Amino acid sequence: MTAEAQQPVESLFPISLHSLRLDTVLTFELYLKHASGKQVLYRAKDIPFTEEVRSSLIANGVAELYVPRSQRDDYFEYASHEIKAVVADPKMPVVEKAQAVYKVTTSIMEDLFVTPKSSERIRQAKTAIHHTVNFMLENQEATRSLMFLTHHDYYTYTHSVNVTIFSTALAQRVFETETETPDFRLLGEGFLLHDIGKSTIPASIINKPGKLTDAEWALMRTHPEAGRRILKETKTLNEIIEKIVLQHHERMDGKGYPFGLKGDEIEPAARVCAIADVFDAITTVRSYRDPLPTFEALKVMRNDMGNHFDWNYFDQFVVLFRKE
Ligand SMILES: [Fe+2]
Ligand SMILES: [Fe+2]
């Protein structure tokens, strides 16, 4: 381990060792966390990341490193592009690839919810999700690895990535046979950004343990339109993203929001997103209730939620969780 320099803990953020590619020059500093909690500078920037360095980190049981927050633009720019090399690496096991892809995408999204007006970050999120979707399209194993490693914490950024994974897996099943196959990468952008409007809602409402008041609920229901506004202002909106962002809370029976659209009036990709969205929400840990296990969640969605979902799509969604 090299030069020791102290950095206050709150100014660093964690990154996965898997997101660093061999023989690339890292344009950001790397810190390590010691068992005592002390964080020390491990590598200065602008030097290559070699096999020797990686092996020594693995030998020391290091899976996570830290980058100064002030250098996060450099890290995200690097990581969003490097996912492509991770996905293409023939020597890397699929599960490791899935972990790297998941970690990078969630950390970009975490930052995006803090800086939703950053068109730069939205662009990086889109790049990351393009590579993620390519990885999923490549083989079944990739899709399953990602589906089964989703974390069910209550953060909106984790939820955004989970919904993208579940929605993309379902979209592949239901749209694959259509005469005009959609651009799954574009759909992926919409799934990933579906809740970006929640960045305008106070965290106290988003994370409130228990029921929302009528006023809080009314505010919460503004997030699809707020999302469209953000994407329009950052010039990152297109037709399909707009439909997913605006319509993911519409219901087949017309009881959804913001417009109360019914059945076919709802964009197919938004119907897909609605299923993944509710599934991820009810399988997620909340302080006031236990998360539902997968099959319990599917049963509740089928039996207790009226005609919320497109049942043809829902049947295909259930198939995704079948054990092989
Ligand atoms: Fe939403
Ligand atoms: Fe959502």
pLDDT digits (tens, 9 = 90+) for 6-62: 555 558 988 888 888 888 899 999 999 888 888 899 999 998 899 899 899 989 989
- Segment 114-119 shows an average pLDDT of 91
Cα–ligand 1 centroid distance for 8 (angstroms): 35
Cα–ligand 1 centroid distance for 154 (angstroms): 13
Cα–ligand 2 centroid distance for 206 (angstroms): 11
Q: In angstroms, rounded to a whole number, what is the distance separating the alpha carbons of residues 298 and 12?
A: 39
Mean pLDDT of the chain: 91
Cα–ligand 1 centroid distance for 23 (angstroms): 40
pLDDT digits (tens, 9 = 90+) for 64-106: 899 999 998 999 999 998 899 889 989 889 998 998 899 899 9
Other residues' Cβ atoms within 10 Å of the Cβ of residue 229: 16
Residues 143, 108 contacting (CB under 8 angstroms): no
pLDDT digits (tens, 9 = 90+) for 183-198: 999 999 999 999 999 9
Cα–ligand 1 centroid distance for 247 (angstroms): 9
Burial class of residue 90 in the structure, from the number of CB atoms within 10 Å of its CB (0-12 exposed, 13-18 middle, 19+ buried): exposed
Q: What is the pTM assigned to this prediction?
A: 0.90
Cα–ligand 1 centroid distance for 37 (angstroms): 37
Cα–ligand 2 centroid distance for 196 (angstroms): 9
Cα–ligand 2 centroid distance for 78 (angstroms): 27
Cα–ligand 2 centroid distance for 163 (angstroms): 7
Q: In angstroms, rounded to a whole number, what is the distance separating the alpha carbons of residues 270 and 172?
A: 14
Query: Is 212's pLDDT higher than 60?
Result: yes
Cα–ligand 1 centroid distance for 292 (angstroms): 19
**Helix or strand run (H / E) with residue 220:** helix 214-220
Q: Which domains does the chain have, with CATH numbers?
A: 1-70 (no CATH), 93-320 (1.10.3210.10)
Residues 275, 170 contacting (CB under 8 angstroms): yes
Residues 274, 309 contacting (CB under 8 angstroms): yes
Cα–ligand 2 centroid distance for 223 (angstroms): 10
Ligand closest to the CA atom of residue 224: 1
Structure tokens at 26: 């890292």
Q: What is the pLDDT of residue 1?
A: 45
Cα–ligand 1 centroid distance for 166 (angstroms): 15
Q: In angstroms, rounded to a whole number, what is the distance separating the alpha carbons of residues 174 and 270?
A: 13
**How long a stretch of residues is the chain?**
324
Instruction: Please give the backbone phi and psi of residue 209, each rounded to the nearest 5 degrees, phi first.
Output: -75, 120
- Segment 214-230 shows an average pLDDT of 97
- Segment 259-278 shows an average pLDDT of 98
Residues 221, 195 contacting (CB under 8 angstroms): no
Ligand closest to the CA atom of residue 192: 2
Ligand closest to the CA atom of residue 167: 2
Cα–ligand 2 centroid distance for 159 (angstroms): 7
Cα–ligand 1 centroid distance for 59 (angstroms): 42
